[in-house]
């Protein structure tokens, strides 16, 4: 889509650096605009490399971390110390290294099971200030892309993609393990101010190309559309392989 920004970097290492810089700039701008900022993280290898980069970044002192809230776009129903926990991975890579107050860490208690976690997480998110579009305002949101075009824990053809009356949905039988998860809904994403979609590697070239062409059978396409419909900005941050430009 023409109004989206597109940034293509050489490889995953450059992508981690570019994403870290984007987070710093976006969080600083959001805190300046609103006094606080909610950053919705995503699980996955690409963003986790960026979290690690950010934890060691010389510019991170520019962000008022005590004004930042952290949430997670989706979570797997495992204990937080399980290596599969999205939150656990983000904590080890970043959250244990920045001074976000514990009261501002909005973690879905996925170890309680998908339904209980979805209910508790939705209640916590509902406390946030509202966006102009209605749902809670999410100043900075990161999304990864699956090779099948999923994002969050919203998988192609699954009923959770269509859920419009809640901020958070319980997911069972996910095609990517573990099967039980909780996920923000597309309706929740309409509260996004700044979306960064991150993708690296040749396996992402096809879903990214289809999403950017507007293929609505892919949840990531619908997620980006929901952000745009709510008035948020969209940036695609890709390495050359994910942009479909081959290895060179």
Residues that bind ligand 6PG (CB under 6 A): 42-46, 74, 76, 86, 144-146, 150-153, 176
- Report the run of H or E that residue 188 belongs to, with start and end: helix 186-189
Return the number of the residue (31 or 151) whose C-beta is nearest ligand 6PG.
151
For the bound state, the minimum distance from the C-beta of residue 116 to ligand 6PG, rounded and expressed in Å, comes to: 18
- Report the SS3 class of residue 139: strand
Asked if 86 contacts 42 with a C-beta cutoff of 8 angstroms, the reply is yes
Return the number of the residue (31 or 121) whose C-beta is nearest ligand 6PG.
121
* CA 65 to each of CA 33, 183, 204: distance values in angstroms, whole numbers, following the listed order: 15, 25, 32
Which of 68, 55, 74 is closest to 102 using CA atoms?
A: 68
Return the number of the residue (101 or 175) whose C-beta is nearest ligand 6PG.
175
Return the number of the residue (86 or 131) whose C-beta is nearest ligand 6PG.
86
**Whole-number Å distance between alpha carbons of 204 and 153:** 17
- Report the SS3 class of residue 38: strand
For the bound state, the minimum distance from the C-beta of residue 150 to ligand 6PG, rounded and expressed in Å, comes to: 6
For the bound state, the minimum distance from the C-beta of residue 92 to ligand 6PG, rounded and expressed in Å, comes to: 15
Asked if 7 contacts 18 with a C-beta cutoff of 8 angstroms, the reply is yes
Asked if 46 contacts 9 with a C-beta cutoff of 8 angstroms, the reply is no
Q: Looking at residue 73, what DSSP letter applies?
A: S
For the bound state, the minimum distance from the C-beta of residue 142 to ligand 6PG, rounded and expressed in Å, comes to: 9
> Counting Cβ atoms within 10 Å, is residue 247 exposed (0-12), middle (13-18) or buried (19+)?
exposed
For the bound state, the minimum distance from the C-beta of residue 245 to ligand 6PG, rounded and expressed in Å, comes to: 18
Return the number of the residue (31 or 41) whose C-beta is nearest ligand 6PG.
41
Q: φ, ψ for residue 138 (rounded to 5)?
A: -115, 100
Return the number of the residue (44 or 135) whose C-beta is nearest ligand 6PG.
44
For the bound state, the minimum distance from the C-beta of residue 199 to ligand 6PG, rounded and expressed in Å, comes to: 7
């Amino acid at each position: 889509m023409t109004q989206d920004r597109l940034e293509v970097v050489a490889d995953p290492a450059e992508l981690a650096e570019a994403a870290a810089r984007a987070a710093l700039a976006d969080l600083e701008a959001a805190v300046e605009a609103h006094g606080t900022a909610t950053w919705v993280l995503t699980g996955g290898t690409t963003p986790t490399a960026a979290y690690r980069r950010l934890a060691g970044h010389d510019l991170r002192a520019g962000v008022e971390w005590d004004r930042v809230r952290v949430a997670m776009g989706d979570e797997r129903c495992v204990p937080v110390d399980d290596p599969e926990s999205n939150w656990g991975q983000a904590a080890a890579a970043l959250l244990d290294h920045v001074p976000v107050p514990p009261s501002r860490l909005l973690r879905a208690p996925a170890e309680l099971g998908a339904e209980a976690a979805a209910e508790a997480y939705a209640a916590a998110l509902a406390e946030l200030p509202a966006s102009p579009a209605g749902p809670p305002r999410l100043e900075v949101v990161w999304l990864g892309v699956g090779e099948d075009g999923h994002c969050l824990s919203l998988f192609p053809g699954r009923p959770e993609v269509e859920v419009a009356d809640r901020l958070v949905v319980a997911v069972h039988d996910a095609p990517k393990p573990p099967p039980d998860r909780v996920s923000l809904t597309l309706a929740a994403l309409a509260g996004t101010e700044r979306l960064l979609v991150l993708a690296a590697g040749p396996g992402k070239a096809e879903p990214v190309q289809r999403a950017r062409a507007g293929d609505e059978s892919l949840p990531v396409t619908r997620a980006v559309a929901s952000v745009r419909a709510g008035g948020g900005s969209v940036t695609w941050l890709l390495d050359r392989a994910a942009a479909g430009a081959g290895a060179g």
